[in-house]
A and B are shown apart, each in its own frame.
Chain A
Amino acid sequence: MTYEIKNVWSILLRLFHWSLVLSIIALVVTGLYVNTPWTNTTLEGSVSFPMATMRYIHFVAGYLFAAAIAVRLFLYIFGNRQERIWDILPITPRNIRSFVTTLGYYSYISDRHDPRLGHNVLAGSTYIVTIVAAIFQLISGFYLLFPEAGFWQGLGNGIFGSQQQGRFVHHLLMWYFILFAFVHVYMVVWNDVKSPEGLVSSMINGKKFKHKNA
């Protein structure tokens, strides 16, 4: 068999991806700590500041997360062909076909595989949903961080209501990201096993392997 190496993901997209991974891991761990601080310093004057430190990491990771989302939104419009939103939005006939084909492929109904370079549309659609969830997570996060700032107060209040409601949504969305991460990793590995084209490594070196005559 002969393969062809294709450049698929730009360096910016890969940076986005790994920033998101890193920030989500940090945010989930520190976020869970903020919700239920599992340590309890009974020693006074220990100057360990676990809660302050966890919150600090959460906020730094929050900014990284925000930056990553901004980069992805930029790439949806100005990225390469695979990165643009038209490649994955399930509204064109070509994309709807990919969506249905992939559904059949994932559920073992058919062996037909969408051979496109970028995301298949089923995966791509869940990424769009995830970016939208991330935007809400951002807004609720900044609403909690800057409750007195007019801009965030207006936005947060309009979308979520009180601080407590914003916090509740923020917490529920955390579970969306945990679930997404789990399903995402499983599906990527599954795809890599089923149709070897270097899917996992493509997010590291940006390249995929394609059948020459496919």
Chain B
Amino acid sequence: MWCGAFRLKRAGNPLSGPVCQRRMTLVDHKKGVIEEMMMEEQAGMVKLSSSVSRRGFLKGCSLAAAALGLSEAMIPKLLEAAESAQRPTVIWLHFQECTGCTESLLRGSHPDIGRLILDIISLDYHETIMVPSGHQAEKSLHDSVEKNSGKFILVVEGAIPTAENGNFCKIAGRTAMDILAEVGPRAAAVIALGTCASFGGIQAAAPNPTGAKGVQELLSGVPIVNISGCPPNPVTFLGTVLHYLTFKRLPNCDKMGRPLFAYGRRIHDHCERRAHFDEGRFAEEFGDHGHKNGYCLYKVGCKGPETFSNCPAARFNDVDVWPVSVGHGCVGCTEPDFWDTMTPFYERLPEVAIPGTGIIADADSVGKKILGVAAAGAAIHAAAGIIKSKTKKG
């Protein structure tokens, strides 16, 4: 049933050629029948929404295995780990953020991933979805930390403001800095979920008035993994959790602490528009001939060449899309300081600010101006030399 619903969705997706064709022929010849089928399948999906089916469970684990780059032979191991009786305790802290990471995980159009995660972990504290509030909530956090000290996984969402003693973010009267300093060192491992928790995110954009920082800058002595992205892909998060459950350690990471299985490669190096890049076919502006024909988005500011992520492979929202597939360049959301270094989003490089002048312009126009000044300087210098030698002779 679930699988049927999945196929139904794909049928509406122009990118999945064969399935789409099948639907067309069916529509042509037996219109009535297929409409009935769709109704049934949709009803099936509604029925499913209360729990994860065995199929959904398998599919989620296979997705995670594929994202992790594991062979099919490993899937039973993942399943075993995911189904084991001891579900790891997870404490989920929200700091300076928009909750978009949780939203995209739990309320996306791929409900099974979110539910699967909730199925394989024991979520003791998560402000967005837990029932208790007020003192009760604080008590459950405290109890869980005490009971599972050294054993729980800590998920952090959002940056931690550090300016003015961290007063910019307080929960139950305590600053984010205090809470992290208390809970963090007692975790077995920390997952920084999203670019804010990883690198500070938009809060840390210049001039960073609240002194926002990512977890790794404030916590040491505990293994930390950064699942960056704005928002991060739920599949990457699921893969990391399953990796931890199966192998009892966090996945291998790059120099910025991001798991290599998801952030080991540049977007540009596995983008479906790459052939257009190499052949020099570009969209010059949105809506032009090149854009309509699906050419490379490099000249409209795509940051794929400098961004590490699995977006072209993992894709989003169960409809197999990612920004570049629908005609918008990558904005580099998985990279540190992307609000400062990837903007202007529709240009290739950041702008140059000349200190003390208030001039902000792109590097090439500044370069050309400086070159012009140098040329004028050389001309004056040469002229002065000529005048000097003339006057000396005369």
A associates with B: yes
Residues of the A chain whose Cβ atoms lie less than 8 Å from the Cβ of B307:
163-164
- Kindly state whether residue A196 has any CB partner on chain B within 8 Å: no
Given contacts A108-B388, A162-B341, are A167 and B349 in contact (CB under 8 A)?
A: yes
Question: In the assembly, what is the distance between CA of A44 and CA of B289, in Å?
Answer: 13
User: Within the complex, which residue of B256, B281, B352 is in contact with A40, where a contact is CB–CB below 8 Å?
Assistant: B281
Q: Are A168 and B350 closer than 8 Å at their CB atoms?
A: yes
* Distance between Cα atoms of A167 and B348 in the complex (Å): 10
A171 within 8 A of B: yes
CA distance A48 to B375 in the complex (A): 37
In the complex, A153 Cα to B367 Cα: how many Å? 28
B279 is contacted by which of A52, A157, A162, A172 (Cβ under 8 Å)? A52
Question: Is B279 a contact of A183 with CB atoms below 8 Å?
Answer: no
Q: What residues of chain B lie closer than 8 Å to A52, measured between beta carbons?
A: 278-279
| Listed stretches A82-90, A113-121, A174-182; interface member | A174-182
Total contacts A-B at CB 8 Å:
115
Do residues B363 and A171 form an inter-chain contact, with CB atoms below 8 A?
yes
Cross-chain pairs A/B with CB under 8 angstroms, 21 sampled = A35-B349, A35-B364, A37-B299, A40-B281, A41-B279, A46-B279, A50-B279, A51-B279, A147-B308, A163-B335, A164-B303, A164-B335, A167-B349, A171-B349, A171-B363, A172-B352, A178-B371, A179-B367, A182-B374, A183-B374, A190-B382
Interface size class of A (residues with CB under 8 A): 35 or more
Question: Is B255 on the interface with A (CB-CB < 8 A)?
Answer: yes
What string of 1s and 0s marks CB contacts (under 8 Å) between A91-116 and chain B? 00000000000000000100000000
Q: Is the CB of B371 within 8 A of A164?
A: no
Set of chain A residues within 8 Å of B161, measured between Cβ atoms = none
Judge whether B280 is part of the interface by a CB distance below 8 angstroms: yes
Residues of chain B within 8 A (CB-CB) of A150 are: 255
A80 CB within 8 Å of chain B: no
- The answer to whether A163 touches B349, judged by C-beta atoms less than 8 angstroms apart, is no
Interface string of B143-158 (1 = CB under 8 A from A): 0000000000000000
Residues of B that sit less than 8 Å from A by CB: 254-256, 264-266, 277-282, 284, 289-290, 298-299, 303, 305-308, 332, 335-338, 341-342, 348-350, 352, 363-364, 366-367, 370-371, 374-375, 378, 381-382, 384-385, 388
Given that A35-B348, A147-B266, A148-B265 are contacting pairs, would A153 and B277 also be in contact in the complex, using a CB cutoff of 8 Å? Answer: no
A interface, by DSSP: helix, strand, loop or mixed? helix
Question: In the complex, what's the smallest C-beta–C-beta distance from B353 to chain A, in angstroms?
Answer: 12
| Complex Cα gap A7–B375 (Å) | 33
Contact check, B280 vs A39: say whether CB atoms are below 8 A apart.
yes
Residues of A close to B290: CB separation below 8 A: 40, 42
Given known A171-B349, A179-B371, A186-B378, contact A36–B299 (CB-CB < 8 A) = yes
Chain B residues with CB under 8 Å of A171's CB are 349, 363
For the complex with contacts A35-B349, A36-B364, A162-B306, 13 further pairs of A-B residues with Cβ separation under 8 Å are: A42-B289, A42-B290, A44-B279, A48-B280, A154-B255, A162-B337, A164-B332, A168-B363, A174-B367, A175-B363, A179-B374, A183-B374, A190-B382
Q: Which 6 A-B pairs have the closest CB atoms?
A: A175-B367, A163-B306, A50-B280, A52-B278, A164-B306, A41-B280
Tell whether, in the assembled complex, residue A148 and residue B264 are in contact, meaning their CB atoms are under 8 Å apart.
yes
Q: Tell me the chain A residues, 1-55 only, with Cβ under 8 Å from chain B.
A: 35-37, 39-42, 44, 46-52
Nearest CB of chain B from residue A99's CB, rounded to whole Å: 18
Query: A48 vs B336: C-alpha distance in the bound complex, in angstroms?
Result: 36
Give chain B residues whose Cβ lies under 8 Å from the Cβ of A48: 279-280
A164 touches B342 (CB 8 A): yes
Q: How many Å from the CB of A190 to the closest CB on chain B? A: 7
| B367 engages A178 (CB within 8 Å) | yes
Q: A157 vs B308: C-alpha distance in the bound complex, in angstroms?
A: 13
A52 to B265, CA, bound (A): 19
- Tell me the bound Cα distance from A186 to B367 in angstroms: 18
Are the C-beta atoms of A164 and B385 separated by less than 8 Å?
no
Chain B positions within 8 Å of A161 at CB level: 336-337, 341
Asked whether A211 is an interface residue with its Cβ less than 8 Å from the other chain, the reply is no
* Chain B nearest CB, measured from A141 CB (Å): 14
Query: How far, in angstroms, from A172 to B282 measured CA to CA in the complex?
Result: 24
**Which residue on chain B has the smallest CB distance to residue A39?**
B280
- Which chain B residue has the least Cβ–Cβ distance from A166? B306
Residue of B nearest to A43 (CB): B281
Tell me the smallest distance from the CB of B254 to a CB of chain A, in Å. Answer: 7
A39 and B341 alpha carbons, distance in the complex (Å): 26
B338 proximity list for chain A (CB < 8 A): 164
In the assembled complex, the Cα of A138 lies from the Cα of B342 at a distance in Å of: 23
B341 (CB) vs chain A CBs: closest residue: A164
A201 contacts B by Cβ under 8 Å: no
Q: Which residues of B contact A108 (CB under 8 A)?
A: 384-385, 388
Q: Which residue of B lies closest to A35 (CB)?
A: B348
Asked if residues A51 and B278 are in contact (CB atoms below 8 Å), the reply is yes
Q: In the complex, what distance in Å separates the CA atom of A174 from the CA atom of B341?
A: 18
A148 to B266, CA, bound (A): 9
